[in-house]
Amino acid sequence: MSFNFAMDAFMQCFFIGTPPLTEQNLPDQSGRVLIVTGGYAGCGKALSSILYSKNGTVYLAGRSPSKAEAAVAEIKSQHPTSDGRLEFLHLDLADLPTIKASAQDFLSREQRLDVLTNNAGVMTPPKGSVTAQNYELQMGTNCLGPFLFTQLLTPLLTKTAASQPPGSVRVTWAASLATAFSPKGGVTLDPQTGAPKVFGDRHTDYAQTKACNALLAREYQTRLGNSSQIVSNAWNPGNLVSELQRHQTFVERVITKALIYPTVFGAYTELFAGWSVEAGREENRGRYVGPWGRFVVLRGDIEGNVEGGGRFWEWCEGETRQYM
């Protein structure tokens, strides 16, 4: 890692300016339909609350109906005058065959989709954790699951974009400061199978998935083509109080606590990526977003790894094709 990039990564965590887009200046979301995966916990819940307060129809997608029910009750109590809707959408990103049913459930309930925020994820689970299909848990949950879910919803996103202002329909992807600690190019792919390497170190495996999401965001934008009005970008939400820390050791939690910010600041980063005028401009599409809503740079070898991003996309396509 170069000294300049190390300094930039440091500046992404500290000395951060005022969020440019918050609940105070977010436009009314009446009539818009929005999905937040992991929308009932952490910054996902904070984002859902902000969107609901602005009268949006917000789908909280995840595995736990009870957690969603509690979050819905809490959010509604905070914003009793909202004209929006809060809906639970069952989604298990770690079980690929079930994702199509989740997408079909949504498609049976709505005729449009304005913003898909791929917020959900898992960080540093116990060693050896795998998905239902035996993928390393972080790769499966953070990358393969969101990839498949996004692909299944792309036709509706495209349909919605055709009748909305250019750049207002968006897909955003959860990256992290951890991209700074990912392998060279962001991802190490097997030269024969194209599969990403499982390092066996939970921190390196996590960092790789976050870099992979940055690559997927850019590749999705590229593959949509110049004629598409959908915007795709990835974001580093910042160092936050989050359920992602549930798998950390005691020492890791002590260190993390000294470096993290209130959860709502992550929602402000997501707001900028998914709702700001700046991120929707043609020249900014696909750019990487940092805390609490500004364009920042990826590590140079990740930014320049166009070939690796394409190869990783193709691996994701191959692994999920049977579940489309």
Using a 10 angstrom Cβ sphere, with 0-12 exposed, 13-18 middle and 19 or more buried, the burial of residue 197 is middle
For the record, the structure tokens of 140 come out as: 């499966």
Give the integer Cα–Cα distance in Å for 278 and 167. 10
Residues in Cβ contact with 101 at an 8 Å cutoff, skipping those fewer than 6 apart: none
**φ and ψ at residue 119, rounded to 5 degrees:** -95, -30
Phi, psi of 239 (to 5 degrees): -90, 115
DSSP state, residue 14 = S
Catalytic residue among 40, 59, 206, 268: 206
CB 274 within 8 A of CB 35: no
The whole-angstrom separation of Cα 171 and Cα 283 is: 16
Active site residue 206: yes
- H or E element, residue 116: strand 115-118
CA atoms of 293 and 265, how far apart (whole Å) = 9
- Measured distance CA(34)–CA(270) in Å, rounded: 13
Of 210, 220, 268, 288, which residue is the catalytic one? 210
Catalytic residues: 206, 210
